[in-house]
Amino acid sequence: METNISIEIEEKTSVESKTSYRQIMKATTLFGGVQVFGILISIIRSKVVAILLGTTGMGVIGLYQSTLGLVQSITGMGLSTSAVRDISEANGTSDTKRIASAVKTLRHWVWATGLFGSITILSLAPFLSKWTFGNDDYTWAFIWLSVILFINAIDSGQTVLLQGMRRLKHLAMASLYGSVLGLFTSLPLYYFFGLQGIIPALIITALSTLGLDFYFAKKIPIEPIPQSLKHSYHAGMGMAKLGFVMMLSGFMLTLSSYIIYIFISNQGGVSEVGLYRAGWTITTQYTGLIFTAMGTDYFPRLAAINTDNAKLRTAVNQQAEIAILILGPMLIALIGFIPLIVQLLYTSEFMPITGMIKWTMLGMLFKAASWAMAFTIVAKGDNRLFIITETIGNILMIILNVVFYILFGLNGIGISFAVNYLVYFLLVYLLVRNKYEISYHPIFWRILLIQNLFVLTAFTLSLIPSSILTYILAGLLMIAAGIYSLKELNRRLDLRKYINKGNDYANRSN
């Protein structure tokens, strides 16, 4: 058995394989660098917001954004994902007219969906206020949210273009500069206007993001072609059909998030929603570099090879291995040092979220493994299988969130996350393996097992009453996990050569 594994390792780490691993790693580090900078910005923003607005302000922002996300997930038709597939395929042909037509079609569709979404929120503003807050005091706030939805829809067209054309450096730069602009425009509004500054801050942030994405998207040379709205309508129907499926998935995900926001608000109040949002922000931000890279680089690569199952199998395994190896030490750090992180990011008022975050970290490895596999379904455009997996996953998440919150409070949300992604991972893996004959290699399973043992050990150590001892042991465990990950990464990447050529990928992205 050990001999077979060694042979497989040698086969997987050939020159061609190392090149693929390096492409994955470079995309991850590119967006990882942006994510780290975003975290630093977030530390400042979250700390100030926590002081100026408290848990109530956090809760109001969370309710606004969850409602906006719910409407946008329906009216946006899933174009932010399905259109990436069309743009990527057109870009792969190097046919300038086909690329120009795909871009024109995308722009017409995002304008239409943006207007539709804005009109929807305008029409439902009084009802959204009552459903979300229990009164109509926030009607005007939701009217202004319709403006944000339209801006976001137009912006999605710019980000899809950057992503589909693989201008990853520009996409990263837009995100980087957007973080800075969002910080310096929103904090003064919170300082001078308190809760009343939330809506203006959200609008200005949305405009800043659109401006930056538009600036970088204009750098892409697109051949100008005449194309009628009627032609765009028919040309975009394939994109819209897949987008409709993506919309249903996004709607179910956003609906489940909206339900838990409203449920927590009714059960524990707006302050409890603020705690939940703060905890969820930490978990998504600090693991976001992996999942951002998957969405921006990994998915377009899969879309380009979606008809070749052998290539897909290799790409899935490589992406999953890199993701798990990077995530392991990060999760240990979050579990072991989360009390310090919460104190740094927020205030002592937010300490109840530490348990929720620890439990959530137990499910992150399974989330990464399931995402790597689930993206093959989207890349192939298999609408039926995608709907099945997403429906089951989201229904399960809603049920688990409600049940575990009732039983264990905020900690139950973290337990629900871990259980949900373990089940979802097994479901997606079995379905994809049986339908496409795409499965994980023994090497991946070994890495997943070892990293889970590290994470479970960190979770157990975090239960020790002595914080100093916990921090020491967590630090040692993080070092051990880091050494293991570096060893495995070096086997795949040849890290010395990778580091020496670290800027090549960013330069080629221009």
Question: What percent of the chain is predicted at pLDDT more than 70?
Answer: 85
Q: Smallest Cα–Cα separation from 283: which of 318, 333, 326?
A: 333
The confidence score (pLDDT) of residue 6 equals 44
pLDDT digits (tens, 9 = 90+) for 152-188: 888 888 888 887 777 777 877 787 787 788 778 888 8
The confidence score (pLDDT) of residue 510 equals 47
Does 302 score more than 90 pLDDT? no
246: pLDDT confidence band, cut at 50, 70 and 90? low
Instruction: Give dist(CA 264, CA 254) in Å, integer.
Output: 15
The confidence score (pLDDT) of residue 194 equals 80
- The 10 Å Cβ neighbour count of residue 288 is 17
CB 328 within 8 A of CB 481: yes
The confidence score (pLDDT) of residue 460 equals 93
pTM: 0.68
Name the residue type at position 35. Answer: Q
Q: H or E segment at 81?
A: helix 79-93
Instruction: Give dist(CA 405, CA 346) in Å, integer.
Output: 23
pLDDT digits (tens, 9 = 90+) for 268-284: 777 888 888 888 878 87
CB 164 within 8 A of CB 99: no
Does 476 score more than 60 pLDDT? yes
CB 28 within 8 A of CB 326: yes
Does 16 score more than 60 pLDDT? no
The confidence score (pLDDT) of residue 19 equals 67
Helix spans in 294-363 (H): 299-304, 309-345, 354-361
3-state DSSP of 421-484: HHHHHHHHHHHHHHHHCCCCCHHHHHHHHHHHHHHHHHHHHCCCCCHHHHHHHHHHHHHHHHHH
CB 273 within 8 A of CB 265: yes
pLDDT digits (tens, 9 = 90+) for 340-396: 888 877 778 888 889 999 999 999 999 999 988 988 888 887 878 888 888 888 888
Mean pLDDT of 293-316: 78
The confidence score (pLDDT) of residue 335 equals 92
pLDDT digits (tens, 9 = 90+) for 182-213: 778 888 888 888 888 888 888 888 888 888 88
417: pLDDT confidence band, cut at 50, 70 and 90? very high
CB 331 within 8 A of CB 365: yes
Mean pLDDT value across the chain: 80
Does 90 score more than 70 pLDDT? yes
**15-24, 116-125, 457-466: range with lowest mean pLDDT:** 15-24
The confidence score (pLDDT) of residue 433 equals 92
Does 125 score more than 80 pLDDT? yes
Does 142 score more than 80 pLDDT? yes
Mean pLDDT of 232-253: 71
Q: Smallest Cα–Cα separation from 253: which of 91, 394, 75?
A: 394
> Per mean pLDDT, which of 127-136, 291-300, 483-492 is the most reliable?
483-492
1: pLDDT confidence band, cut at 50, 70 and 90? very low
Mean pLDDT of 47-63: 76
The confidence score (pLDDT) of residue 424 equals 93
Distances in whole angstroms, Cα of residue 171 to Cα of each of 93, 144, 214, 225, 468? 22, 27, 10, 25, 41
Name the residue type at position 457. Answer: T
The confidence score (pLDDT) of residue 344 equals 78
CB 250 within 8 A of CB 73: yes
